[in-house]
């Protein structure tokens, strides 16, 4: 669809209850129809946010995710089903297909990709606002750099941080030049082990709370209610019934990113070539190295079990599963030994 700006905002039946909400109204609905939102990560929070934005009539969604659907996702990731898990469908593509089933009037651009310094400007170029639904601080600091940098010479592209683990949900609006940025509150990423869904579990209610607050703030921005946006870092523990807020109303003087404009993450400084992921796996970043998945499948078939769906290839040998993407990126599951993961990649994909 190439007329995103004319998405069915005139569909008075579909959006009637939202239009009746006075702060949005007909004019706000038209603005939503002409809007473009990028969601980085299509897991639990990203899937919930994408579903809410699509049902609200946001005209164009840019979905970026590097992962594929697994059965353990189905407890909380609302855009996927058992067939997606069985086929190991990339999450961005599975989300695009599902959204088309309940709102075919909007445009969804799915990118099966890892957001990195080399592709961030191309993938986010058209976004008016970015929603964070990632599972790592490396990408969040990269988005923060991009958002702050985008403000010169033109208008900045704001982003909304969101996180959920266990029963905990947190979110924060970043409006460059107005509010604190991520580095203002947290100058450095956390060091040492950090709780993840794979180690601490997660309640789907925490996910949906984070996504609901995040999307509401995005709707405020897109409909012109910028002054109504929250200027705090908000956290909830749903199990302990605890809520806290930290002011993020103003930038921190001397902030390395929004004050000194030092974009180390955008430059890719210190970015690892190989990283540990959740679920007992290692990710190998091999961007700019296109792989012919069909040819790779034929080459690997004599050495183990191979599945291929046109978007990725899965190769299982013994306790290890290698998931290979078309850009050369790979996930090696069944180990957290980086040396072993590198050996398996070199042996079956090549150096």
329 pLDDT higher than 70: yes
- Mean pLDDT (the chain) is 90
C-alpha–C-alpha distance, residues 282 and 204, integer Å: 25
333 and 249 within one domain:
no
With vertex at residue 271, the alpha carbon angle to CA 268 and CA 273, rounded to the nearest 5 degrees, is 125
Domain with 339 in it: 274-348
**What confidence tier does 9 reach under pLDDT thresholds 50, 70, 90?**
very low
- Give dist(CA 27, CA 146) in Å, integer: 30
* pLDDT at residue 251 greater than cutoff 50: yes
CB 25 within 8 A of CB 219: no
pLDDT at residue 5 tops 50: no
The CATH number assigned to the domain holding 224 equals: 3.40.50.720
- The 10s digit of each residue's pLDDT in 76-123 is 999 999 999 999 999 999 999 999 999 999 999 999 988 999 999 999
pLDDT at 220: 98
User: The whole model's pTM is what?
Assistant: 0.83
pLDDT exceeds cutoff 90 at 152 = no
Residue pointed to by tokens 């599951």: 333
- The percentage of residues in the chain with a pLDDT greater than 70, rounded to a whole number, is 91
Among the candidates 250, 267, 284, a domain finishes at 267
Q: In this structure, are 248 and 328 located in the same domain?
A: no
Q: Which of 76-90, 93-107, 202-216, 315-329 has the lowest mean pLDDT?
A: 315-329
Q: Looking at residue 288, what is its pLDDT? A: 61
In the predicted structure, residue 351 carries a pLDDT above the cut 60: no
- Out of 267, 294, 317, pick the residue that ends a domain: 267
**Same domain flag for 68 and 177:** yes
Is the same domain home to 189 and 242? yes
Same domain, 319 and 198: no
* Shared domain check, 168 and 289: no
Question: How many distinct structural domains can be found in the chain?
Answer: 2
Looking at the annotation, which residues are catalytic?
197
Half-sphere CA count of 293, side-chain side, radius 13 A: 19
In a shared domain, residues 302 and 189: no
Do 154 and 46 share a domain, yes or no?
A: yes
pLDDT (mean) for 243-267: 97
Q: Are residues 256 and 159 in the same domain?
A: yes
Residues 326 and 317: their CA atoms lie apart, in Å, by 20
pLDDT at 84: 95
From the list 246, 290, 219, the residue with the least C-alpha distance to 37 is 219
pLDDT beyond 60 at 350: yes
Both 302 and 208 in a single domain?
no
> Of 210, 238, 267, which residue sits at a domain end?
267
Same-domain check for residues 220 and 303:
no
Cα dihedral sign, 325-124-139-48: negative
CATH number at residue 332: 3.30.310
Instruction: Give the confidence band of 336 by pLDDT, cuts at 50, 70, 90.
Output: confident
Residue 278 backbone class (left: φ over 0; alpha: ψ -120 to 50; beta: rest) = beta
Q: Are residues 147 and 78 in the same domain?
A: yes
């Amino acid at each position: 669809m190439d007329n995103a700006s004319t998405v069915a905002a005139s569909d008075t039946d579909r959006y009637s209850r939202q239009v009746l909400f006075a702060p949005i109204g007909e004019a706000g609905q038209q603005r939503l129809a002409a809007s473009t939102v990028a969601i980085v990560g299509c897991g639990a929070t990203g899937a919930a946010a994408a579903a809410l934005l699509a049902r609200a009539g946001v005209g164009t969604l840019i979905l970026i995710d590097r992962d594929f659907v697994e059965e353990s996702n189905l407890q909380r990731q609302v855009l996927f089903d058992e067939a997606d898990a069985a086929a190991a469908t990339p999450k961005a593509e599975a989300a695009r297909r599902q959204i088309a089933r309940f709102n075919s009037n909007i445009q969804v651009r799915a990118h099966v990709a890892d957001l990195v310094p080399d592709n961030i400007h191309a993938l986010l170029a058209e976004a008016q606002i970015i929603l964070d639904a990632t599972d790592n601080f490396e990408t969040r600091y990269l988005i923060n750099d991009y958002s702050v940098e985008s403000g010169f010479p033109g208008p900045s592209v704001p982003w909304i941080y969101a996180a959920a683990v266990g029963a905990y949900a947190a979110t924060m609006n970043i409006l460059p030049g107005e509010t604190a940025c991520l580095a203002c509150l947290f100058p450095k990423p956390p060091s040492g082990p950090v709780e993840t869904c794979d180690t601490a579990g997660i309640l789907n209610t925490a996910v949906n709370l984070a996504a609901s607050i995040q999307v509401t703030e995005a709707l405020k921005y897109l409909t012109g209610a910028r002054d109504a946006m929250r200027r705090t870092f908000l956290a909830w523990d749903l199990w302990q019934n605890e809520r806290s807020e930290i002011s993020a109303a103003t930038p921190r003087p001397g902030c390395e990113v929004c004050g000194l404009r030092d974009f180390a993450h955008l430059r890719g400084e210190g970015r690892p070539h190989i990283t540990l992921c959740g679920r007992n796996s290692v990710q190998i970043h091999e961007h700019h190295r296109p792989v012919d998945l069909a040819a790779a499948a034929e080459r690997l078939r004599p050495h183990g079990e191979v599945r291929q769906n046109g978007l990725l290839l899965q190769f299982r040998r013994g306790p290890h599963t290698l998931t290979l993407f078309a850009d050369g990126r790979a996930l090696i599951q069944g180990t957290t030994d980086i040396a072993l993961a590198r050996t398996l990649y070199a042996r079956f994909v090549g150096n």
